[in-house]
Structure 1
Amino acid sequence: MLRVACAQNKAWQEAGFPELRIAVNLSARQFASGDVAASVRGALEASGLDPQYLELEITENMAMKNENLPTLELLRDMGITLSIDDFGTQHSSLGYLKSLPISRIKIDRSFVSGIGKDERDEAIIHAMMLVARRLKLSVVAEGVETEAQYRFLAEHDCDDIQGFLFYRPQPAELIQKVLLEHWKS
């Protein structure tokens, strides 16, 4: 999947679309099965994609394992953006967060779904965003499905917002049509 994502992003760039970062989830199995950095490097070299246009998403549990830290640092040093996916759903350690080689946190949809319904979820989101800003991390909110959720996140200066309010997962051909509609005129 990593090779396909890198190749597709490079193809879109060569077709004249904006240079966007593509995000790919890394699983615990991928970390356990071998040299993740070599696999990523191979996918980038095969596609010709510049590392700055690749974002790798990892879970909190994977990020917090000391044995994964050298690999994460190597990936960051390659120029790849690292983000913690589903942030806040595992055993987060704010003290550990400051030492991780990550650039972004992705606030889990379980918190976003409470916007407009549960002030506690809103308070947690606001707190996560404040901590992230102080640590110079960008924030992505996942699972945005309503205008109210979007407005809350926009009012709190969330860096990026993703969810079904905008688009559902799409095959590459349909994403290319969206890119054509919005950027290539």
Structure 2
Amino acid sequence: MSVARLSTENNNSKPKRARIEASLVLGFSADDKIRTIQPHDNALVVTLRIKGYDVKRVLVDQGNPVEIMYPDLYKELNLKPENLTAYDSPLVSFEGKTVTPRGQIRLPIQTSSDVVEVDFIVVNAYSLYTAIVAKPWLHALETVSSTLYQKVKYPSNGQVKEIVGNQSMARQGIVVAILHRPNAESSASTERNL
């Protein structure tokens, strides 16, 4: 979708002519839901190319102020402790626990022909995801993302490009989270007794 803006050229030697400039509009329509399972409440989980590797189970989190990398991805990318720079601020996990980061590392994320470098905070904690991309990446790429439509859209070379979420991967993550919870059985039996 594009919006046309009219402007007139002010040139005394030529008659005035209207010039049309196209601006990209990033948004969603009913067509964007076509290949999604509706209704749903899935997280937006995508595959991104990080440091030259296709990385699955990356959570797109609009509310998070920093990009996060978990141990499995850190190992798979063959990163070493000497690759990290200091990062001293503690973080709060999904469970509400304080997590001390191991450090941070700047890595490229490639989408189509666009490359954005971001600082990942490396944490040694369990996660369903291999990484979380957040506001710094979303803003640098000038994206609009939607969990409802399961897409990330961004402008690139005069076009609107998109990254499509993987609902199956998001749903598998929910099952893994329930099975991983240490007190899942005790809370389920407590609910039955109420």
Q: Give the TM interval when normalised to the shorter protein.
A: under 0.3
Greater helix fraction, Structure 1 or Structure 2: 1
Over alpha carbons, which structure has the higher Rg?
2
TM-score, L = length of structure 1: 0.21
Greater strand fraction, Structure 1 or Structure 2: 2
**Relative contact order, CA 8 A, sep 6+: which one is greater?**
2
